[in-house]
Amino acid sequence: MTTSSVSKGCFVFKPSAKKKKTLSLEDHFTHGCEDAENSQTRFQICQHLWDKIKTDSEILQDELYRNILDSLLDFTKKCSVTRQHSDWASQMRASEIPTAALVLGVNVPDHEMTFQSLFELLQQSVTPFVTSIQAKECGALKHLMKRVLERLMGTTVVDDDEEEEEAEQNSALLHKNVYCSLSTLCDWYDSKTKKSRTGTPGKKRNSSSDEQQPPIVIIFKDLEAFNPKVLQDFILICSRYIERLPLMFIFGIATSPSTIQHMLPHSVSSLLCIELFQSLACTQHLSTVIDKLILTHHFPFKLNGKVMQVLMSIFLYHDFSVRNFTKGIQLALLEHFHSQPLSVLCCNKKEALRNMTKLSDSNLEKIRLLPSFKRYVEKQETQDQVNLLTNDGHVKEVCQKLIKDLHKYHKNFYPVLRCLHTLTSSLPRYPLGKQLRELYLVCLEKNVWENEDYLTAMKLLKMLAKDELVRMLQRCEEILQPVKSKKMRNTVVQLKDLLTTFKQLDTVSAETPCVEDTITSPVKDLQKKTDLFQLQKTLLEMNRSRRAKRLSPFEALRNEAVEFIDNLVKSHLSPPESQTLNEVCYYSSSATVRRHLNATPRTSIQAALSSPYYYLQNEILKTDDGSVSNTAPDICIAYKLHLECGRLINLYDWLEAYSTVVSAAEGNDSDSGATGKVDEIKHARFIQAVSELEFLGFIKPTKQKTDHVARLTWGGC
């Protein structure tokens, strides 16, 4: 061949294999789920309750923050109207920017929902020109300017050339004259408002529409996190444009209003016309969420005392976040339905009774293994015990009755709990707690009437004045009145009778004889001439008369009312664990909730460094005695060696030990033993391992000795 021709081409072949199927939420739920035969029903119930928690919590959030949001809307509207009617100079100086200081508290995770609601309300009813910014995206002044302009004007970067050209223009503009950076916004705002003021041809325009200039609202979500210098420069620039731009600021403050004075000097803060707005306390928000989501029989899923205590501890000692508290409830809900096959009965009464009839033999056997059901069986007659352990049909019938009793128990438990809280929340020193959640935790742990604080509360109730006691009993009547059960109807009738008797005390004319009258005759007998025996007898009668002091009608009725409340508590406030089949709707794994929500990273890191096999799944790293293999990663070897040292670690000795271990793993003698020097590669690996330990917080440099490091942790896994 004298000539040859070579052709090259690229051909694309579409894969014939089907696309990988994406797993749905139900697939993720059923994967590894206990007892997969009813997993679909459990998933549907779980998802319904999950959506209910989310929806109800958002509605409560809107209701609780409605007042402060309305106040902020009124503030922005007032400032806008004042400016439009040319009263700006009379209300404030021309250079002042109206500013709302919104103190939201330290529950930072909850702030996002509040700002989102505020953003939407402002856009709907006040102005379309609203933007919100965060400190993490505004490290420098040019970044802050860019974010504000982009979000207000809706500008976007199309391609790289335009992005570079725009960046060069903005950079040059900021360096030449920083105050000109808002001129573009002024021109854009004038064009926007001019279009809105322009009426249709042939139609007479309203004079008020000509003057209409909606404000430009800038929301600073996390004021404390902003760079003070950047914030000061931005306020100074905006004050120069306040006559052309109707700017308004909203500062989101987590700590205290004094933060503004700490961040801004007087020359800058004097340019702001600040009005303070205080949000609802996060503890009040939490009390409302617990009252609406947990303390109601309409929500079948419940938390036992230990899980509730874990969630409360995380809230009170970590973040004060109601949003995270709600997420904790959702986590417990998911874990309960995923790990408990009998959670298919954790729903409303009708659905639970229907699902009970569909339970398989394996699920009925799980019911027999429940601790509460075992206690129930032990209390029955011998023949009933045999039927409950052998007859599946009989178990279903009994369990249907037990499910009804459990729902009836919840229906009566929470109203009586609120009654007890009404009576004891205003007592001196709050023996049963000031908040309803505190009393609820006490009732979850054990019989509340066996608590010493409960006995103290009952004694204090016996010393209440009439008006206060009657007012509390009337409040209890209002709480119990809506409950539709036979026991509660009888209780309300008895309570009404007590209140009627209290009212009749004022109209009773006949009074009981005074105690002084009962002891006058013995005193008169003492004035008579008598012997020693008669004197002793008279003194005994006087002592007996004092002991047999008759109570007034009010005191007797008050004791009767307290005894009535005591009997009501003992009848309905027994702990949930005493109820049969409580495991169906009560989640009790507090350790799982704590592990997911209150993680301990140091413990996890120590476990990984001490037992790398369980994380890397390498058979070479597996050891029986718990020690670290000499073939483990360098950081694991360095960590193991540092556990054998004291407070100060000699780096050279540490390096020698490391080199010896690594050389033994490679099957060679230690390099230091032959040449007196350590291999450069091993030296570099050791330095990297030490740097990683320092980054993780196990060691730190020390000035006591230059060739030593200080150990920061003690003990290991």
Residue 62: per-residue pLDDT: 87
CA distance 543 to 351: 66
Most confident among 58-62, 175-179, 306-310 (mean pLDDT): 306-310
Share of the chain above pLDDT 70, in %: 81
* pLDDT at position 178 over 60: no
- Asked, for residue 520, whether it belongs to a domain, the answer is no
Number of H helices, E strands in the chain: 35, 10
Which residue, among 210, 175, 174, 181, has the nearest Cα to 193 in the 3D structure? 210
- Work out the mean pLDDT of the chain and round it to a whole number: 83
Give me the mean pLDDT over the 214-237 stretch: 94
CATH of the domain at 635: 1.10.10
Across the range 226-236, mean pLDDT stands at: 94
Q: What are the E-state strand segments in 530-647?
A: 586-587
Closest to 388 in 3D by CA, of 412, 364, 404, 408: 364
pLDDT of residue 143: 85
Same domain flag for 388 and 448? yes
Asked if 233 and 185 sit in the same domain, the reply is: yes
Domain that holds residue 266: 66-158+169-193+211-279
Asked if 576 and 614 sit in the same domain, the reply is no
Number of domains in the chain: 3
pLDDT band at 545 (very low <50, low <70, confident <90, very high): low
Cα 85 to Cα 517: distance, rounded to the nearest angstrom: 81
556 and 652 co-located in one domain: no
φ, ψ dihedrals at 218, nearest 5°: -115, 120
Q: What confidence category does residue 205 fall into, taking pLDDT thresholds of 50, 70 and 90?
A: very low
Distances (CA, A) of 453 to 423, 449, 460, 472: 14, 9, 11, 19
228 plus 330 within the same structural domain: no
In a domain, 4, yes or no: no
pLDDT at residue 602 in the model: 82
pLDDT band at 319 (very low <50, low <70, confident <90, very high): confident
Q: Are residue 394 and residue 295 in the same domain, yes or no?
A: yes
| Residue at a domain's end among 222, 246, 279 | 279
Predicted confidence (pLDDT) at residue 58 exceeds the cutoff of 60: yes
Residue with tokens 């993680």: 599
pTM, whole model, 2 decimals? 0.77
**426-435: string of b/e by CB count within 10 Å (b at 16+)?**
ebeeebbbeb
Q: Which two tokens stand for residue 598?
A: 């209150």
* Among 476, 463, 372, residue whose Cα is nearest residue 423: 476
Range with the lowest mean pLDDT among 166-175, 375-384, 431-440?
Answer: 166-175
Asked, for residue 201, whether it belongs to a domain, the answer is no
* pLDDT for the residue numbered 613: 85
CA dist 535 → 476, 517, 521, 526 (Å) = 53, 20, 13, 7
CB 294 within 8 A of CB 302: yes
Condensed to tens digits (0 to 9), the pLDDT of residues 257-266 reads 999 999 999 9
Q: Are residues 448 and 481 in the same domain?
A: yes
Asked whether the beta carbons of 230 and 138 are under 8 A apart, the reply is yes
SS3 call for 77 = helix
Residues 268 and 313 in one domain: no
Higher pLDDT, 417 or 613: 417
- Asked whether the predicted pLDDT for residue 177 surpasses 60, the reply is no
Q: Which range has highest mean pLDDT (32-41, 95-104, 404-413)?
A: 404-413
Tokens coding 159: 């391609």
- Looking at residue 528, its pLDDT comes to 57
Residue 651 reports pLDDT greater than 80 = yes
Q: Does 326 fall in a domain?
A: yes
Residue 244 sits in the same domain as residue 349: no
Q: Are residues 440 and 399 in the same domain?
A: yes
* Residue 27: per-residue pLDDT: 78
Instruction: Look at residue 677 and tell me if it is in a domain.
Output: yes
In the chain, the amino acid numbered 389 is L
Residue 704 in domain? yes
Q: Is the pLDDT of residue 165 over 70?
A: no
pLDDT tens-digit series, residues 332-356: 999 999 999 999 999 999 999 999 9
**pLDDT surpasses 60 at 161:** no
Least confident range of 299-303, 321-325, 480-484, 705-709: 705-709
252 in the same domain as 228: yes
Residue with tokens 């021309």: 94
Structure confidence at residue 677 as a pLDDT band (50, 70, 90): low
Q: How many CA atoms lie within 13 A of 15 on its CB side?
A: 4
How does DSSP classify residue 303? E
Task: Rank 139-153, 515-529, 675-689 by mean pLDDT and report only the highest.
Answer: 139-153
d(CA 532, CA 573): 57
Single residue among 594, 612, 645 that ends a domain in this structure? 594
User: How far, in Å, CA of 656 to CA of 636, rounded?
Assistant: 16
The whole-angstrom separation of Cα 593 and Cα 585 is: 16
Q: pLDDT band at 450, cuts 50/70/90?
A: very high
Closest CA to 599 of 335, 318, 307, 290: 318
536 pLDDT more than 50: yes
Assess if residue 527 is contained within a domain. no
Q: Are residues 238 and 309 in the same domain?
A: no
pLDDT at 95: 66
Number of Cβ atoms within 10 Å of the Cβ of 580: 24
Task: Reply yes or no on whether the pLDDT at 626 is more than 70.
Answer: no
Q: Is residue 698 in a domain?
A: yes
Q: Which has the minimum average pLDDT: 191-195, 400-404, 468-472? A: 191-195
**Residue 10 pLDDT level (bands cut at 50, 70, 90):** low
Handedness of CA 253, 258, 262, 267 (dihedral sign): positive
Cβ–Cβ < 8 Å for 582, 410 = no
| Domain end point (choices 575, 594, 613) | 594
Poorest-confidence range of 303-312, 492-501, 607-616? 607-616
CATH number of domain containing 97: 3.40.50.300
